[in-house]
Amino acid sequence: MKRRDFLALAPVSAALRLGSPFQARAGQAAPVIPVIIEAALNGGTAKSRNPNVPRVPAEIADDALRCLAAGAAIVHSHTDDPVMGGKTGRHDPAPYLEAWKPVLAKRPDALLYGTMAGGGPHTNIEERSSHVLALAQAGVARFAVIDTGTTNFGRLAADGLPEPVDAVYQTTAKDSSYMLALCERSRLGPSIAVYEPGFLRIAVAYARAGRMPPGAFVKFFFSAPNATWGLPPTLASLNAYLEMIKGTTITWAVAAVDGDVFESGIARLALERGGHVRVGLEDHLGRRKPGNEVLVREVAALAKSVGRPLATCDQAVAMIKLPRPRTQ
């Protein structure tokens, strides 16, 4: 076997030992884990940064359907309510419903979820999560976003020093506990964002204690070269995170914030090691200005090149043990 082939297969076998529902029976060859693609459609990305980004509900619905058809199993979107810098932490569920109902009418299997505002003295976790609860009760959201820590977002200025900005994205340990309990009660999967290693330590603590709600999907967010937070998209960084989750059944994916998940090489590294990929215009920044559908198709092609099929929405539900909504 060529070394490249071994690298592609050995990590998949290791991932199967972490509790995948696609485990082989005794005496059978281990099946390959399908790849879960998450498409993060917009975030705070403006059309001036990429004219292909969907901003209004009709655009979001159309883009979501295109990404699902291209192979995405999960779609994440924002509205124009601010994540940071708002007067309150309250988000309106109505724009989500307007965007998602047409998607679910055509693709009832679609796995959709939104965002929530960061914390601070201007708000509280009950206010920040009120729309999450409303969307769960409406039966349209399948995950709740949980950032298990606080990050000082920033970048280096031209002189090589950190820009003097106030960009704190806050989630306290108490907030994380509240959101995980909300997921349990509302049958939502925790979509856990890891911006710093400490975020993952909290997620792992819940997993090791048997207190992580079913349906958890952990994303490793790697940062751009000029960022002042997080880890760079390198093999050493990925291995550090994989070492931290060793012995757990955590399902994980990679993303490159303000970067290119393909050109950085982190998407291939993840796929070769049994992981999954988040892609989309919320995160993407670089010399290219592709649309979300193009990015999803690129992940699909990369997965094929390493011998892994794509997970359907229903397969993704089984793989991460995502609860069914109470309305189903």
Q: pLDDT for 212-265, tens place per residue?
A: 999 999 999 999 999 999 999 999 999 999 999 999 999 999 999 999 999 999
**Segment among 3-12, 95-104, 116-125, 178-187 with least mean pLDDT:** 3-12
CATH number of the structural domain spanning residue 306 = 3.20.20.70
Please give the pLDDT value at position 5.
Answer: 38
pLDDT band at 308 (very low <50, low <70, confident <90, very high): very high
Q: What residues contact residue 204 under an 8 Å CB cut-off, 6+ apart?
A: 244, 245, 248, 250
19: in domain: no
Question: Residue with structure tokens 């291939």?
Answer: 268
Supply the pTM of this predicted model. Answer: 0.90
Residue 58 has pLDDT above 70, yes or no: yes
Nearest to 179 by CA among 98, 117, 256, 112: 117
Please give the pLDDT value at position 119.
Answer: 87
Per DSSP, 31 falls in state P
20: in domain: no
Q: Which domain holds residue 106?
A: 33-151+168-320
284: in domain: yes
Nearest to 97 by CA among 154, 136, 143: 136
pLDDT band at 7 (very low <50, low <70, confident <90, very high): very low
- Asked if residues 277 and 297 have their Cβ atoms less than 8 Å apart, the reply is no
Q: Is the dihedral of CA 207, 209, 210, 212 positive or negative?
A: negative
156: in domain: no
> Mean pLDDT throughout 124-148?
95
pLDDT tens-digit map of 147-191: 999 988 999 999 999 999 888 889 999 999 999 999 999 999 999
12: in domain: no
Please give the pLDDT value at position 120.
Answer: 87
DSSP H or E segment with residue 126:
helix 125-128
158: in domain: no
Domain count of the chain? 1
306: in domain: yes
